[in-house]
Amino acid sequence: MKDRRNNGEEEVHTDFSDRMTYGEYLNLDTLLAAQNRRSAHHDEMLFIIIHQVSELWMKLILHELQAAIESIRNGEMQAAFKMLARVSSTQKQIIQAWDVLSTLTPSEYMEFRDQLGQASGFQSYQYRMIEFALGYKTKHVLKIYEKDPGLHKHLEAAYKAPSIYDAAIEKLATAGFPITGKLLDRDYTELYEKDQSVEAAWTAVYKDVDKYWDLYQLGEKLVDIEDSLQQWRFRHMKTVERIIGHKKGTGGSSGVGYLKKVLDHRFFPELWDIRTNI
């Protein structure tokens, strides 16, 4: 007679003396030992975990964005679409994280805020790399990372690399659209500015979806990502306002004022403007 206490799972492995375990595969000992509070306050654990989890999701976003850029430039559009859809799904997870952090009250945060020193989310290098990958290039932020020469070199390479919008514009040109020549051989460190030829190309794509189906899908994937990023930025701003009001950020930024200002930046301006024109 079977032992009902096993629930019919007699073949489940229990001897791991010479096998890799789940914890070993995920390096859980290292991962779960990384939440080191600098105060005795209960809620600092929440603060640390939210930011660490967000950094893990950003690592995945970068992994997918960088691969998508390469796929677009190689003409592997279906693979790129799958990667960009995963980016959008991942962004939803990061947006929802603000709801959890918002359970931290102003009084609770002030109990351990001083322990952060000048450390701030403003210094997240993965977030900067996401901005770079989407085309928002700001050279002055590189100075933050000079303390670590290896990291600084890594960021500088990302700063000089083409963004996903550069790759998209290249595809418009490949499809036969007359794109302004300087855009196809430009300095990728320069902040992208709206161009009439790009707007005309996207307008044509959206007016003849059947003919330019791949480009149309690419445009919509990019809009999805920018839409979600702006939602993330807005939730970030409101969460900061909810917890510290209009105090300066620990990293020296103006806090809510800075976060409101970056909401005005558009990554893919033509893709938004054509909605008025078509």
| Euclidean distance between CA atoms 51 and 97, whole angstroms | 9
Annotated binding-site residue? 69: no
Annotated binding-site residue? 233: no
Q: What is the SS3 assignment for 120?
A: coil
List of residues 6+ apart from 257 with CB closer than 8 A: 246
User: Does residue 248 come out as left (phi exceeding 0), alpha (psi in the -120 to 50 range) or beta?
Assistant: beta
Helix residue ranges per DSSP H, the chain: 22-25, 28-32, 44-73, 77-101, 106-110, 125-134, 149-160, 164-174, 181-184, 196-207, 213-244, 256-262, 269-277
Spatial contact of 102 and 93, defined as CB atoms under 8 Å apart: no
What are the tokens at 64? 């997918």
Annotated binding-site residue? 48: yes
Annotated binding-site residue? 47: yes
State phi, psi for 256 to the nearest 5 degrees.
Answer: -55, -40
Spatial contact of 205 and 212, defined as CB atoms under 8 Å apart: yes
Annotated binding-site residue? 216: no
The annotation places the binding site at 47-51, 109, 113, 236, 250
The annotation places the binding site for substrate at 47-51, 109, 113, 250
The annotation places the binding site for heme at 236
